[in-house]
Amino acid sequence: MNFWTYSCINSLRALPALRAWEERYRSKGLVVVGVHAPEFNFEKDPARVRTALSDLDVKYPIVQDNRYATWQRFGNEGWPGFYFIDAKGDVRGYRLGEGHYDEAEQLIRKLLTEAGQDVTGIKALPAVGAGIEAEADWKDLRSPESYLGYAKADNFQSDGGLVRDISSQYRPAASLSLNQWDLSGSWKVGSEYAALAGPDGKIRYRFHGRDLHLVLGGASQASPIRFRVLVDGAPPGSNHGTDIDAAGWGEIKEDRLYQLVRQAGGVVDRTVTIEFSRPGVHAYVFTFG
């Protein structure tokens, strides 16, 4: 059993292992069940979850746990959370967070063997993720998850601080140190996200990591919101993420996580600027890899 949510980078980077286990051991009785426990309100929408499952090629059963009832019964502590349950229904293992997938697979093999299955003919190989699901570059990661809604926001540098729940005009800070951020333009900052309330809005963040992601929403397939990403004031070129091109252009069509930067060379401190073409954008959280 895997507790996850579809806009969480930690959950997304665990998917290659989950898919591999389901494919390798399904015929031996393994059942992978995902428990989708949303972090943000938009993730509670069943239609959005179904779209995400299709886009992410998740084919095993998913339980939607909008009220955290299953989460609470298991005493789960975060995303991704893994529970390993034997053929008798007993929980035999719990892991929180990414990594150690080789040890987890060995436990799966042990429990299947106890249930009378022969898994010796199945090779236990690392599951390598691509694109947004690639493992983080942990040795060069120095930027933490950073929320834009005031309930969890930290290190905000625009003069006057965040103004809660009303549209306000923000100006960029004179400079940003590592893991600091600011806003430009008219924004309405709520507890979960910052919403652009006028044209020509910008977000800046000073980060250190191979990858930079931002959870974005507020648009639709029929009316996408165009945006541009600059890295140290210039188009990203070969440092662009999977959701933008080399010139830095991308579109918000669904509420989800967008990968904006993947540094192709050496990882150094960078300042990313995201410029939005029109109001309506919802910006939730920066994550890194």
Tokens for 40, please give them: 């943000």
pLDDT for position 43: 98
pLDDT for position 277: 87
Across the strands, what pairs with 206?
271
Across the strands, what pairs with 251?
226
Tokens for 102, please give them: 């080789």
- The pTM (predicted TM-score) of the whole model is 0.96
CATH of the domain at 256: 2.60.120.260
89 CB burial (10 A radius; 0-12, 13-18, 19+): exposed
CATH of the domain at 75: 3.40.30.10
Is there a single domain that holds both residue 186 and residue 228?
Answer: yes
Q: Could you give the CA distance from residue 152 to residue 135 in angstroms, rounded to a whole number?
A: 25
Predicted confidence (pLDDT) per residue in 187-236, tens digit: 999 999 999 999 999 999 999 999 999 999 999 888 999 999 999 999 99
13: left (phi over 0), alpha (psi -120 to 50) or beta: alpha
Is there a single domain that holds both residue 119 and residue 147?
Answer: no
The CB-side HSE value for 286 (13 A sphere, CA atoms) comes to: 28
For the chain, which residues score pLDDT lower than 50?
Answer: none
Is there a single domain that holds both residue 190 and residue 252?
Answer: yes
pLDDT for position 220: 85
